[in-house]
Structure 1
Amino acid sequence: MKQKMAYTMLMASLPPHPMSLWDFKHKPVTRLRLERQLKLLTEQDSQQLAAIESILHWAKMQEANSDAEIAIEAGRVIKSINNPLLQEAIIWRLELRIIVTAIRRRKLNRPPSDKHEHWGYGQVLPLIRSNWQLDDFGLSHRFPWVAKAQDLFVKNESVELEKLLLNLSWQHYEKLGQAHYFDFEAVVLYVLRWDIVNRWTQCDEQAAMLQFEALVNRGLLQTA
């Protein structure tokens, strides 16, 4: 009962996220204030949130040393969490990253990875390998945005690609949280959406272009 009350107080103390990501001009709450409120979490939940953020934090995922490292760490975190909704949130975000990585590899004229290469986590990997020559990797029935992401990547429209990926994640987390308002799942999804807002409010065209170039260059190094 005390934990339920504490989490209700935590969520009630935070400004709600609007329906649309594009309604934001500034973060609804500073990270410092958010961290203060997160002290209401139990030690176990606090550790789980930190583990989830360690692999899903937008900047950390972009700056990771390798896809293999993310895949290994993701597997460890997912196994440590006994919560289907949070596992779904993690896997969905990782599969989004895998698809973008595949688009990047193909743009660089690299072959698909073999089954022994760890470059992602999720059930889409074998589908991508077997449908490498298809524009959408045969995934449009499940991920209708793949063709658009492919087109934006090929055209080097980094700002629009960033916006697409951010908004996809925003909408997915919003959907997952529809039945969760004052529990641990609600806290995790709030923090993940806060990270998206933070990314969006810091994003400008020059920074996005530099990020895109770094992404391509890192891909050249990793797949050489």
Structure 2
Amino acid sequence: MANGNGRYIDLLCSLPYLENPFVRKRPPITAIQLRKRFNMLDFESRTLLKKLATTFYWGQIAFDDSDEKLVRQANRLMDELGSSDIREWQMWRMDMRTIMSALRRRKQGQSAPQQNTVWGYGHYVGHIVNNWSHPTFKLESRFPWLIDARERLESGDSYGLERHLLSTEWHYYSRIQPDEQYSLSDVWLYAMKWDLVDRWCRYNAEVAKQHFEQLVQNGLKTPLEELRVMS
């Protein structure tokens, strides 16, 4: 790709440093600004980034039956990626997504999916089905985060679960390195980490909003109850 490395270098050098999502109130660059920066890339690179973002949208953890289309798209794109580093990263992410989907399905009382059902994607779809009754599908040694995730899901600790999963992803993406420096892989790695920062900031803001609304409701409720007693 002509001048490919130069474009990647210019783009990556223009992007702000991404801090741990749990210490920021907002991403250092907005989604609109980030998309504009991506216009520095050539058409081929932008097209692949769009395919990755569309197929491996990481804003939702759980699979449901409507994700059959996504699984089929993932199959096609994985073939296109070949044995690249991006493919390896996305396989890890899809394994995580599939495991969480299985935990949620089981918590809802569902039986193991039928073998011909398209419900998940990754290395362990068949393994999960065959070990459906095991608390962690016998995958806890492969995925140490799984034990804590299951416990938080079972206890209804949605805030703790979201933080745990995002933290797991952040540590994973912070450890890995692209096969080639200043490449499209570097750009995709930045995009994935940016999304984690953005997701946590938005999630935290929503939790804070709900907490504030609850405080307001509680603040209104108490005086009304006192008035009823007085009357």
TM over 0.5, shorter chain? yes
Matches within 5 A, 1:1-224: 2-18=3-19, 20-59=20-59, 66-177=66-177, 181-204=181-204
Distance 1:133 1:62, change over 3 A: closer
- Mapped partners of 1:64, 1:105: distance in 2: 9
CA distance in 2, matches of 1:143, 1:171: 13
- Map Cα deviations across residues 80-120 of structure 1 (whole Å, 9 max, x no partner): 22452111111111111110111011111111112111001
Is the Cα–Cα contact under 8 Å of residues 58 and 199 in structure 1 kept in the other structure? Answer: no
Deviation at 1:45, TM superposition (A): 1.2
Q: Which moved more, 1:31-40 or 1:131-140?
A: 31-40
Report how far residue 148 of structure 1 moved: 0.8
Q: Residues 83 and 37 of structure 1: is their aligned pair in 2 closer, same or farther, counting only changes over 3 Å?
A: farther
Flag the structure with larger Rg. 2
Q: Provide the C-alpha distance between the structure 2 equivalents of 1:82 and 1:42, rounded to a whole number of angstroms.
A: 21
Measure, in 1, the Cα distance between the counterparts of 2:122 and 2:203.
Answer: 28
The answer for unaligned runs of 5 or more in structure 1 is: 211-224
Task: Show the counterpart of 2:229.
Answer: none
* Matched residue type, 2:174: E
Shift of 1:58: 2.9
Task: Name the SS of the counterpart of 2:174 in structure 1.
Answer: helix
Unaligned runs of 5+ in 2: 211-231
Post-superposition offset of 1:180: 5.2
Question: C-alpha displacement at 1:68, in angstroms?
Answer: 1.7
Size of the alignment, in residue pairs?
A: 208
CA contact (8 A) 2:67 2:119 kept: yes
Deviates more, 1:95-104 or 1:52-61: 52-61
What do the CA deviations read for 1:126-164 (whole angstroms, capped 9, x no partner)?
A: 111111111110001110111111111111111111111
The RMSD of aligned alpha carbons is 2.3
CA contact (8 A) 1:57 1:195 kept: no
Distance 2:199 2:120 in 1: 22
Contact 1:7–1:183 (Cα < 8 Å) also in 2: yes
Please tell me the residue identity of whatever aligns with 1:46.
R
2:75 partner amino acid: G
